[in-house]
Amino acid sequence: MSQSPIPEKLEYPSVYGPVNSWRFGQSLGIDPIGIISTCSFNCVYCQLGNIQQKTTQRQIFVPTSQIISDLQRFVRREVPIDVVTISGSGEPTLALNLGEILAATKEIIKQPKVVLTNSTLLGDKSVRDALALADIVAVKLDAVSSNQLRQINQPLDTIDLPDILKGIEKFRQEYQGCMAIQTMILSSWTAEIQAHYIHLIKRLQPDEIQLNIPYRSRILVDQLESRDDEIVESRSYSCQNLKCISAEELSALAQKIYNVTKIPVRYAPIS
């Protein structure tokens, strides 16, 4: 299926934050995508609102030289951080220079490098090779069936769950760092969904499981202040309410997953 051309990116700061991440502490963000949100998903909970460009086509969106320059300016501020997270306004593995970005970041900042990915390009060896340079990779798995994938993540028609799972498996076999599975919980899971999820976790064998929840209503317009799934201060926008499970349900689900898999489970705080 032919894909529409990707609009030309506008100049935009590639480094943002640091932001307070419940998973990683004080996180300095690197956005390799730029001002036009670009992803292979259009998740119903996405903090960017509706994705402007849906694609699996890899290209250089933000030059590595710009990211290096932005990082060097940040370093001069001497702001304490715990990690550097590559995420941003879309799917970071779409950036053809992801490996260059990780290699350059390692030369500038000593803190661990994290990549948040939606897992759709893990079947591509060049993507896996680039991610090998990261200390932590959090791979998305929100669905246990193709139907649930379409409902929650709204992927391109060419993307299906079996291919995503195969890509995660290949990455798990090769990757020497810490691989976490990040899962967004929007509402209560049935016993059947829980059983399917635990089965997939046993198959994929991550080092850690991260159960996330939407912290606020989904914005309906592009918002560049929220370039990952963490808490970030922002202005008021038109929003769409999302369901969310209770703190008790989330805690019980996390405990059940751990009891069966013995894999550490962390979950987002619910106030």
CA 179 to chain centre: 12
Residue 242, sorted as left (phi over 0), alpha (psi -120 to 50) or beta, turns out to be beta
Q: Give the C-alpha separation, 133 to 117, whole Å.
A: 14
pLDDT class for 245, splitting at 50, 70, 90?
confident
Q: Give the C-alpha separation, 129 to 150, whole Å.
A: 28
Q: Give the C-alpha separation, 84 to 102, whole Å.
A: 10
Q: Angle 64-77/98-108 helices, nearest 10 degrees?
A: 20
Domains and CATH numbers, the chain: 15-267 (3.20.20.70)
Pairing between β-strand 15-21 and β-strand 53-54 as defined by DSSP bridges: unpaired
Instruction: Provide the pLDDT for residue 271.
Output: 61
pLDDT class for 268, splitting at 50, 70, 90?
confident
229 pLDDT more than 80: no
Instruction: Provide the pLDDT for residue 236.
Output: 36
What tens digit of pLDDT does each residue of 92-117 get?
999 999 999 999 999 999 999 999 99
Q: Identify which has the larger pLDDT, 238 or 72.
A: 72
Q: Angle 247-261/191-204 helices, nearest 10 degrees?
A: 40
Which range among 11-25, 103-117, 195-209 shows the weakest confidence by mean pLDDT?
A: 11-25
Instruction: Give the three-class secondary structure for 247.
Output: helix
What tens digit of pLDDT does each residue of 143-183 get?
999 999 999 999 999 999 999 999 999 999 999 999 999 99
Tokens at 83, concatenated: 């990690």
Instruction: Provide the pLDDT for residue 217.
Output: 52
Average pLDDT over residues 231-245: 46
Average pLDDT over residues 29-51: 93
